[in-house]
């Protein structure tokens, strides 16, 4: 059985994603352009080839699940295949998009997103994903070659559970309840947490200050 680096993963050229130079952090503007670039200019490259090649961005759907005011927080256990993220907390579910994830004439982004979500969790409720924004983390060589598409799924049911319980643990928590785990979150989750916290603190238009 081939190892994880023998797989082919969906990528886009860095120069296509960032024609004016790379930004760092979270963006929620110009999302249609980014999605168009990914859908029209992507290719599937050997992961071992692109894992250390900053001329490519490996596209990762990063799905944040919410029910009411609680979000699904997971933790990678010792049996996790991703050694670099073991014992860290994550607000998102997702992974690389492979050729087999995309249906004939399908949308590589949405097909990949749904497949990754269904692979990670058991969930029987309604599924409607909204793109929150993109995350690019230039702080390390590993994060620099990945581009996260952060989606929010507002679930109709709180009945969500991890499939591979030897690799992951998860529970629904409010943003305030998970604050104590912030320093143990991987970088994308810290970025998303900050963004969600800003959104929930934003004043309601027409409300009292």
Instruction: Tell me if 133 sits within 8 A of 26, measured CB to CB.
Output: yes
Number of other CB atoms surrounding residue 115 within 10 Å: 19
Distance of CA 177 to the CA centre of its chain: 21
Annotate 157-168 with DSSP letters as a single string: -S-EEES-TTTE
Q: Exposure of 62 by Cβ count < 10 A (0-12 exposed, 13-18 middle, 19+ buried)?
A: buried
Question: pLDDT per residue over 82-121, tens digit each?
Answer: 555 457 999 999 899 999 999 888 899 999 999 999 999 9
- The pLDDT value recorded for residue 203 is 66
Q: CA dihedral defined by 96, 63, 109, 38, rounded to 10 degrees?
A: -80
Which residue numbers in the chain have pLDDT < 50? 1, 80, 85, 209
Question: pLDDT per residue over 54-70, tens digit each?
Answer: 999 999 999 999 999 99
Q: Given the DSSP bridges, would you call strands 56-67 and 146-154 parallel, antiparallel or unpaired?
A: parallel
Domains identified in the chain and CATH numbers: 4-201 (3.90.79.10)
Q: Exposure of 87 by Cβ count < 10 A (0-12 exposed, 13-18 middle, 19+ buried)?
A: exposed
- The pLDDT value recorded for residue 5 is 60
């Amino acid at each position: 059985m081939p190892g994880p680096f023998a797989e082919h993963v969906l990528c886009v050229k860095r120069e296509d994603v960032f024609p004016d130079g790379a930004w760092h952090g979270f963006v929620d503007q110009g999302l249609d352009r980014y999605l168009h670039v990914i859908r029209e200019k992507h290719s599937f490259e050997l992961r071992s080839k692109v894992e250390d090649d900053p001329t490519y961005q490996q596209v990762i759907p990063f799905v944040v699940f919410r029910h009411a005011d609680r979000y699904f927080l997971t933790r990678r256990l010792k049996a996790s295949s991703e050694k670099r993220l073991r014992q860290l907390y994550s607000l998102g579910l997702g992974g690389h998009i492979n050729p087999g994830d995309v249906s004939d004439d399908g949308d590589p982004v949405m097909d990949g997103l749904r497949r990754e979500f269904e692979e990670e969790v058991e969930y029987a409720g309604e599924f409607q994903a909204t793109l929150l924004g993109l995350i690019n983390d230039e702080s390390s060589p590993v994060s620099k070659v990945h581009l996260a598409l952060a989606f929010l799924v507002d679930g109709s049911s709180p009945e969500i559970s991890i499939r591979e319980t030897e690799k992951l643990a998860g529970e629904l928590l409010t943003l305030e309840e998970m604050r104590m785990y912030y320093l143990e979150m991987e970088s994308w989750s810290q970025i998303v947490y900050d963004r969600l916290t800003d959104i929930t603190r934003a004043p309601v238009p027409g409300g009292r200050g």
